[in-house]
């Protein structure tokens, strides 16, 4: 799952992910609220990776995580959350990593070489999604 308000970034992520042969399906959302609504669906496909933009309008990545954990509990994602940012503020990275479910905070844009590290994280299994 990709959650990023930037249309160009969404297209880039989809292209990188589909060409990697590491994924079966990419689900993209430009608004965090829409991604949260999808995660609330009882009959949705499982989500093993969420690539989550930090800075988005209406609901940012941190607010998305807070809502997902509060509403859906520890099982809102059965894998890995990677936050993506253009921020140079080290406090944003520190805040992202305060969420147990967040496995890394990467600079945007996502690059193909990031995928092998994400695949390794998936092999290690999910973490819990409560905040510290």
> Residue 131 falls within a domain, yes or no?
no
Of 106, 42, 52, nearest in space to 79 by CA: 52
- pLDDT tens, residue by residue, 95-105: 998 988 899 99
> Residue 28 falls within a domain, yes or no?
yes
CATH code at position 33? 3.40.50.2300
> Residue 129 falls within a domain, yes or no?
no
> Residue 130 falls within a domain, yes or no?
no
> Residue 85 falls within a domain, yes or no?
yes
- pLDDT tens, residue by residue, 32-53: 999 999 999 989 888 889 999 9
> Residue 76 falls within a domain, yes or no?
yes
Q: Which residues contact 46 (CB under 8 A, 6 or more apart)?
A: 78
Instruction: Count up the domains in the chain and report the number.
Output: 1
> Residue 106 falls within a domain, yes or no?
yes
Range of the domain at 93: 2-124
- Is the whole model's pTM more than 0.85, yes or no? yes
Give me the sign of the Cα torsion angle 16, 105, 30, 73.
positive
């Amino acid at each position: 799952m990709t959650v990023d308000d930037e249309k160009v970034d969404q297209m880039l992520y989809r292209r990188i992910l589909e060409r990697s042969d590491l994924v079966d399906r990419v689900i993209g959302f430009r608004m965090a609220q829409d991604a949260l609504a999808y995660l609330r669906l009882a009959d949705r496909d499982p989500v093993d990776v969420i690539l989550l933009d930090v800075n988005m309008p209406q609901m940012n990545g941190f607010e998305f995580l807070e809502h997902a954990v509060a509403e859906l509990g520890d099982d809102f994602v059965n894998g890995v959350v990677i936050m993506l940012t253009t921020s140079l503020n080290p406090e944003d990275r520190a805040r992202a990593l305060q969420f147990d479910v967040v496995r890394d905070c990467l600079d945007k844009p996502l690059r193909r070489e990031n995928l092998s590290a994400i695949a390794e994280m998936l092999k290690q299994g999910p973490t819990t999604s409560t905040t510290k």
